[in-house]
Chain A
Amino acid sequence: MAETIALIDFGAGNLHSVHNALIATGASGVIVTADPDVVATADRIILPGVGAFGACRDALASIDGMIAAMEQRILQDAVPFLGICVGMQLLADKGIEFGEHKGLGWIAGTVQAIEVPSADIKIPHMGWNDVTPTGGHDLLEAGEAYYLHGYHFEAANADNIFATTHHGRTLVSAIGRDNIVGVQFHPEKSQTYGLAFLKRFLEWKP
C-alpha cells in the first residue's frame, strides 16, 4: 500500500503551497488533514507554518488531540517528520515573540528575534541564502533556498543543527534528530532546490 503523508492543516498560510510542491515532486499519498486519527496512522508527517510562534502554537493546540497524536506517531512510532518555517520553530522548548510561548519541546532550544550587529543587515531575513550543511545528514545538500523570517531557532545542542546560513550572524537553517527534521527555509518556494529537498524527505528512511 502506498504511503500516506499527513500534511497538518491548522490554518497556516503556506499549507496549499506546501501541498502543491509535494504534488509537483510526484507524491501521491498526501492528505491535507486536521484529523488527529489520520495523523496517528500516517507514514510521514509534515507541519507547515508561517507568521507568529504563539498564534501557530495556539492554532495547532486548538485541534483536540492533535499534539497528542503527533507525539504518539512521531516520538513513539518514529515516523519521519518535517517541520517547515514556523512548523520547524514549534519544535523548540519555547518561543519569545509577542510574549513567551511554550513550544513542543522536541528539540532543545529557544526561538527568538534575530539580533544583528549592524543596521545594514535588514530584518526580516528575506530572500535566497545559503543552506550550508554541518555534515553527516543526507537530507541536507548545499545550495540556495528562500528564507522569510524575523525570528530564529537558537539550538541548545550543536548536535541538533543540520545546516546553517549567514545573515549578519550564523543562523540555524535546519535542525533535527533521529526521525525529526525541521527547516527554516521554505522548500515549497525554493524552486528546484526546494522540490529536490522535499523529494529526499519523502524517500527518507531514518
Chain B
Amino acid sequence: MAVRIRVIPCLDVAGGRVVKGVNFVDLQDAGDPVEQARAYDAAGADELCFLDIGASHEKRDTIIDVVRRTAEVCFMPVTVGGGVRTADDARALLMAGADKVAVNSAAVTRPEVVSDIAGRFGSQCMVASIDARKVAEGRWEIFTHGGRTSTGIDALEHAVRMAELGAGELLVTSMDRDGTRDGYDLSLTRVIADAVSIPVVASGGVGNLAHMVDGVIKGGANAVLAASIFHFGQHSVAEAHDALRDAGLPARHDS
C-alpha cells in the first residue's frame, strides 16, 4: 500500500487549556490538552496538532510545558503551531518533543524564518501554515493573526514560496470555512496541492466524514485536519479511517 492519508485531530490551546474555535473568535473551555492528546493517541490518530492560539499575547512556556507533558505519554507525531517566530522558538518546541512546528505570521513578515528552521532542523519538521480567505473567484489572500489581518499576499504564490524556502509541509486553512462545518475550500486546497511537491494538509470547515474524503479526492490533500467533529464525539478517528478506506484511499488500520 502507499503512504496512508493522515487523519489529524487539532487541539486549539490557549493558556495551557484546550478551547474550541468557532471562526477563531468565540471560545469555550474544553479541558486539559494532555488528557485530550492521550485520548487521541489511544484512538489511533495518525498525528496530533496543537495550535497555540493565544501565543501572540501570552507566554511561550505554557505550550512548551504542554508539549513536554504530552510527549511523555503519547507516542504519535505532534505538530505545534502558533507564535513560532524564530528558529530558537522552533528548537524549544522540538526539544520538548514536538516533531514539527507550524509557522504562520512570522513566515509572512519574515519568510527567511522558514529557511532558517529548515536549514537547522530539516525540512521534515518545518510546516508552513497558509491561512487564506477567498477574495475573488480562483483567488485567495493570506490572512494573519487568526484570520483578522489582511496582508494582500496571494495565497498560491505564498504557498509556492514557502515550499521553495524549504517547508516540508503546508497546512492550508480556509479562514472562510473555519468553524462553519461546510467542508474544506476544495478549490483552495487543490490549487495549492497541484502547485507544490510537498505534502498538503487540508484544514478548516470539516462537518462530516465525506468532507474528509473530498479533501483528499477533490482537494488533493495528503492529510486531513479536523477539530470539532472529533472533540464532541460526533465521529471517531476509526470512523474517519473507515470512510477513507471505503472511498478507496489508503488509511491506517486502527490497532
Interface: B168 (CB within 8 A): yes
Chain-B contact segment, one of A37-45, A61-69, A126-134: A126-134
Whether A195 lies near B46 (C-beta < 8 A) is no
Contact mask for chain B residues 110-140; partner A; CB cutoff 8 A; 1 contact, 0 none = 0000000001111111000000000000000
Chain-B contact segment, one of A12-20, A27-35, A175-183: A12-20
Bound form: Cα–Cα A147–B120 in Å: 20
For residue A92, give the distance in angstroms from its CB to the closest CB of chain B.
Answer: 17
Interface: B242 (CB within 8 A): no
Chain-B contact segment, one of A75-83, A101-109, A184-192: A184-192
For residue A183, give the distance in angstroms from its CB to the closest CB of chain B.
Answer: 15
Interface: B202 (CB within 8 A): no
Interface: A122 (CB within 8 A): yes
Whether A119 lies near B96 (C-beta < 8 A) is no
Given known pairs A20-B72, A127-B46, A127-B222, the reply for A50 and B125 (CB within 8 Å) is yes
For residue A11, give the distance in angstroms from its CB to the closest CB of chain B.
Answer: 8
Bound form: Cα–Cα A20–B72 in Å: 5
Whether B71 lies near A193 (C-beta < 8 A) is no
Interface: A144 (CB within 8 A): yes
Interface: A123 (CB within 8 A): yes
For residue A147, give the distance in angstroms from its CB to the closest CB of chain B.
Answer: 7
For residue B229, give the distance in angstroms from its CB to the closest CB of chain A.
Answer: 21
Whether A20 lies near B71 (C-beta < 8 A) is yes
Given known pairs A126-B168, A150-B168, the reply for A52 and B255 (CB within 8 Å) is no
Interface: A135 (CB within 8 A): no
Bound form: Cα–Cα A85–B93 in Å: 19
Whether A194 lies near B223 (C-beta < 8 A) is no
Chain-A contact segment, one of B2-10, B50-58, B148-156, B176-184: B2-10
Given known pairs A17-B71, A20-B72, the reply for A126 and B124 (CB within 8 Å) is yes
For residue A144, give the distance in angstroms from its CB to the closest CB of chain B.
Answer: 6
A52 nearest in chain B by CB position = B122
Whether B75 lies near A191 (C-beta < 8 A) is yes
A-side interface residues, number (CB < 8 Å): 39
B42 nearest in chain A by CB position = A191
Interface SS majority for chain A: mixed
Bound form: Cα–Cα A147–B99 in Å: 11
B253 nearest in chain A by CB position = A144
For residue A10, give the distance in angstroms from its CB to the closest CB of chain B.
Answer: 13
Whether A13 lies near B125 (C-beta < 8 A) is yes
Task: Give the chain B neighbours of A158 by CB distance below 8 A.
Answer: none
Whether B6 lies near A128 (C-beta < 8 A) is yes
Interface: A5 (CB within 8 A): no
Task: Give the chain B neighbours of A137 by CB distance below 8 A.
Answer: none
Task: Give the chain B neighbours of A124 by CB distance below 8 A.
Answer: 123-124, 168-169, 198-199
Q: Which of A114-128 contact B (CB under 8 A)?
A: 119, 122-128
Residue contacts A-B, CB under 8 angstroms, 27 given: A17-B75, A20-B73, A20-B75, A20-B97, A24-B73, A50-B121, A50-B125, A55-B120, A119-B197, A122-B200, A122-B222, A124-B124, A124-B169, A126-B6, A126-B169, A127-B3, A127-B46, A127-B223, A129-B2, A130-B1, A144-B252, A148-B125, A166-B2, A186-B77, A189-B99, A191-B75, A193-B255
The 3 closest A-B pairs by CB, nearest first: A51-B122, A13-B94, A128-B4
